[in-house]
Amino acid sequence: MSQKSFTPLRITTIKAERTVPFPVYIFFKEQYLEYIQEGNSLEKEKYKKLRRQKITKFYIKDSDEGKYQQFLDSLLDSTLDDPNAAMEEKVEMVSGQSETAIDRLSDDPANQTSFDMTRKAAKNMQKLIFENPESLNQIFGQDNEGSHVIQHCLNVAALSIKFAKLLKVSDEDIDYLSTAALMHDIGVMQMEKEQAELFHKPKTELSPNEKSVYFEHCKGVVQLLAERPYINAHIIELIECHEENLQGSGPMKKAKLSRPQEILSLVNTYDKKIITSKLSPGDAIKEMMIDELGNYNLDLLNKFKDFLKTEKVIS
Ligand SMILES: [Fe+2]
Ligand SMILES: [Fe+2]
């Protein structure tokens, strides 16, 4: 079978001891091997072992995609509404859905099924965060073995959702913001390896040439998305503006941002400091208050700092 007829998914979206209505594969020694048979379930011990071995991906046949989405939707609905389910389990499932969606979008940004999955993941993340106050810190503190860019997208989404709510951004805008946050750096994942490495370099250390190469990640993908009628224009604009700031030193030199755009850009800059400069959350906000003064509204920066304290992200 060709590689094209398989679709990846995160192991965390297939819960142990739950009947799976489609066969699940692993990719081993250059081939797809059936790991869970249709109608069977994954044993808890096997699941734990895979996690320990840092095997993060399973595969399904493309033709089973509809069954997988149905399976995942009902699993997430029942887990998120279950008062007895542990918060860790809820975080793991919502993260798994978000990671799978981002992973797939980075392969094919204009794929409607992957976009729909991202919308659902964004909605579930809102539900998780609003109904489980402690979950924000759990998502933020996760160590994503798979990819720093994906973990960054999850962090930015989680922080943006709750910060925007605090600032009384409308529910509709929070909805767009959460989707855009999950998708905002898929352009980085599409870059050649050498260029994508620039993601790990602090902004202040980029040469003018490196900066313009890096900024390309905001443009190419947006052109692709803009052609798709099912993607809302607000989402596209948020993605396009995520590296802009009030001094106009972003890729488009745009100095006027809407409130949701400013929130996404600020949270993006904050989390990127932690990932690229390996700063602690507390040191990252200290650096923001110096380096980013003028790039963002001072009042917004102060509110963000207070928000991080309230959420116990910093002490
Ligand atoms: Fe970015
Ligand atoms: Fe980013």
What is the tens place of the pLDDT at every residue in 227-275?
A: 999 999 999 999 999 999 999 999 999 999 999 999 999 999 999 999 8
Distance of alpha carbon 241 from alpha carbon 32, whole angstroms:
40
Q: Same domain, yes or no, for 49 and 92? A: no
Distance 128 CA to ligand 1 centre (A): 25
User: Average pLDDT in the 80-105 region?
Assistant: 95
Distance 292 CA to ligand 2 centre (A): 16
Tokens found for residue 38: 């249709």
User: Average pLDDT in the 123-128 region?
Assistant: 98
User: Average pLDDT in the 146-174 region?
Assistant: 96
Q: Same domain, yes or no, for 2 and 94? A: no
Of the ligands numbered here, which is closest to the C-alpha atom of 187?
1
Distance 22 CA to ligand 2 centre (A): 35
Distance 156 CA to ligand 2 centre (A): 8
pLDDT of amino acid 52: 86
Q: Same domain, yes or no, for 146 and 211? A: yes
Residue 1 has pLDDT above 70, yes or no: no
Q: Quick one: how far is CA 246 from the chain centroid?
A: 25
Instruction: Please say whether the beta carbons of 155 and 140 come within 8 A.
Output: yes
Q: Same domain, yes or no, for 113 and 27? A: no
Distance of alpha carbon 212 from alpha carbon 281, whole angstroms:
28
Residue 107 has pLDDT above 80, yes or no: yes
Whether 157 is covered by a domain: the verdict is yes
Of the ligands numbered here, which is closest to the C-alpha atom of 222?
1
Domain tally, the chain: 2
Distance 50 CA to ligand 2 centre (A): 29
Residue 146 has pLDDT above 80, yes or no: no
pLDDT of amino acid 4: 59
Q: Same domain, yes or no, for 182 and 259? A: yes
Measured between alpha carbons, how far apart are the two ends of the chain, in Å? 53
Angle subtended by helix axes 259-277 and 298-310, to nearest 10: 60
| CATH code: domain of residue 132 | 1.10.3210.10
Of the ligands numbered here, which is closest to the C-alpha atom of 264?
2
Instruction: Please say whether the beta carbons of 305 and 285 come within 8 A.
Output: yes
Which residues sit with Cβ closer than 5 angstroms to ligand 1, an ion?
A: 185
What is the length of the chain? 315
Distant-in-sequence, close-in-space partners of 102: CB < 8 Å, separation ≥ 6 = 118, 150, 153, 182, 183, 186, 189
The percent of residues in the chain predicted with pLDDT above 70, rounded, is 98
Q: Same domain, yes or no, for 53 and 122? A: no
Spell out where 126-283 has E strands: none
Residue 143 has pLDDT above 90, yes or no: no
Q: Same domain, yes or no, for 117 and 253? A: yes
SS3 310: helix
Distance 216 CA to ligand 1 centre (A): 9
pLDDT of amino acid 166: 98
pLDDT tens profile 185-199:
999 999 999 999 999
Q: Same domain, yes or no, for 300 and 216? A: yes
Whether 74 is covered by a domain: the verdict is no
pLDDT of amino acid 44: 92
Q: Same domain, yes or no, for 194 and 272? A: yes
Whether 291 is covered by a domain: the verdict is yes
User: Average pLDDT in the 273-281 region?
Assistant: 90
CA torsion 245→267→274→150, rounded to 10°?
-110
Whether 119 is covered by a domain: the verdict is yes
User: Phi/psi of residue 36, each to 5°?
Assistant: -125, 125
Distance 83 CA to ligand 1 centre (A): 37
Residue 156 has pLDDT above 70, yes or no: yes
Higher pLDDT, 2 or 250: 250
Distance 270 CA to ligand 2 centre (A): 9
Of the ligands numbered here, which is closest to the C-alpha atom of 153?
2
Q: Same domain, yes or no, for 54 and 176? A: no
Distance 58 CA to ligand 1 centre (A): 28
Residue 182 has pLDDT above 80, yes or no: yes
Instruction: Please say whether the beta carbons of 75 and 97 come within 8 A.
Output: no
Distance of alpha carbon 192 from alpha carbon 40, whole angstroms:
39
Q: Same domain, yes or no, for 35 and 180? A: no
Domain containing 212 equals 86-310
Distance 135 CA to ligand 2 centre (A): 21
Kind and range of the H or E element at 132? Answer: none
Distance 242 CA to ligand 1 centre (A): 6
Distance 37 CA to ligand 2 centre (A): 38
